């Protein structure tokens, strides 16, 4: 006797459902079947390449971009900061536009040296600028002392030639991961102090500290202890410098835009050219 059609189809559905997990397991076992799934250790797709960090790369995302400040060059001196992000720089054009000083990225962490360093550092000097170098700190990679030594050994030194500015510690948002590099406020302060003390021991100069007030508050607890020794370079893209981190009554340098002429990052030294020279001379 023929089996009723409804019973056949019902049984088929049960068998198919029972076979589904085994079929899926077989598919997942095939080479490349799970290649689209991200590995838990893989960084997000938008994380930049290690070594590519530069001054202020997190300012707009965290603090925003306001209008440019009013012209203030009578009392302040225009400068720029550059890294491998800019490649070969047109230093004569910058000089002719009124830029009189420059900071060049030398190192990052304990693993990266600026690939455009020679053209940028020597080129700025050759057109007549007072120039210096900066280090992008990554406190999760190694100690402050280790990175200060790496910096000094790879372009971050100082010489009393009247044309060389003291080195800068660029300490700001982590472009590769956790904002504060996985450190508590007290641990961050200790790391910065370790860097600053080592840099002074190696060069005889106090390092300039580059940061943004919002980051400093978040990651150091607004620590005030560096204001009496280390000049402040503040990042704020607006008409005024705004609130400064605790301990500093004024800024030495203000990075006011990332969209300036010829190279993006433009700054104002808080004083006339003779004050830039005074900082170079120590």
- Which active-site residues does the annotation give? 81, 170, 172
Residues 250 and 208: their CA atoms lie apart, in Å, by 13
- Give the 3-state secondary structure of the chain: CCCCHHHHHHHHHHHHHHHHHHHHHHHHHCCCCCCCCCCCCCCCCCCCCCCCCCCCCCHHHHHCCCCCCCCCCCCCEEEEEECCCCCCCCHHHHHHCCCCEEEEEEEECCCEECCCHHHHHHHHHHCCCEEEEEEECCCCCCCHHHHHHHHHHHHHCCCCCCCECCCEEECCCCCCCCCCCCCCHHHHHHHHHHHHHHHHHHHCCCCEEEECHHHHHHHHCCCCCCCCCCCEEEECCCCCCCCCCCCCCCCCEEEEECCCCCCCCEEEECCCHHHHHHHHHC
Q: Which two tokens stand for residue 19?
A: 């076979």
Distant-in-sequence, close-in-space partners of 246: CB < 8 Å, separation ≥ 6: 216, 222, 223, 224, 227
Distances (CA, A) of 231 to 17, 51, 59, 80, 262: 71, 25, 20, 17, 27
Distant-in-sequence, close-in-space partners of 2: CB < 8 Å, separation ≥ 6: none
């Amino acid at each position: 006797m023929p089996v009723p059609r409804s019973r056949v189809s019902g049984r088929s559905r049960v068998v198919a459902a029972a076979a589904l997990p085994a079929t899926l397991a077989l598919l997942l076992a095939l080479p490349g079947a799970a290649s689209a799934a991200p590995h838990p250790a893989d960084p997000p797709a938008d994380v930049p390449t290690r070594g590519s960090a530069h001054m202020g790369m997190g300012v707009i995302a965290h603090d925003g971009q306001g209008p440019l400040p009013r012209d203030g060059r009578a009392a302040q001196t225009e400068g720029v900061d550059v890294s491998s992000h800019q490649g070969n720089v047109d230093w004569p054009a910058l000089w002719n536009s009124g830029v009189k000083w420059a900071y060049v990225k030398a190192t990052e962490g304990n693993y990266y040296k600026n690939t455009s360093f020679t053209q940028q550092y020597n080129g700025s000097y050759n057109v007549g600028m007072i120039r210096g170098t900066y280090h992008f700190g990554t406190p999760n990679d190694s100690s402050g002392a280790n990175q200060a030594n790496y910096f000094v050994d790879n372009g971050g030194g100082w010489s009393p030639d009247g044309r060389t500015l003291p080195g800068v510690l660029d300490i700001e948002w982590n472009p590769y991961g956790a904002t504060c590099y996985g450190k508590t406020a007290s641990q961050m302060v200790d790391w910065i102090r370790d860097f600053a003390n080592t840099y002074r021991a190696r060069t005889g100069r106090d390092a300039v500290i580059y940061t943004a007030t919002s980051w400093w508050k978040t990651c150091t607890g607004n620590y005030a202890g560096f204001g009496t020794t280390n000049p402040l370079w503040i990042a704020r893209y607006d008409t005024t410098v705004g609130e400064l981190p605790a301990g500093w009554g004024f800024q030495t340098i203000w990075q006011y835009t990332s969209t300036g002429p010829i190279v993006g990052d433009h700054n104002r030294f808080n004083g006339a050219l003779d004050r830039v020279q005074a900082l170079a001379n120590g």
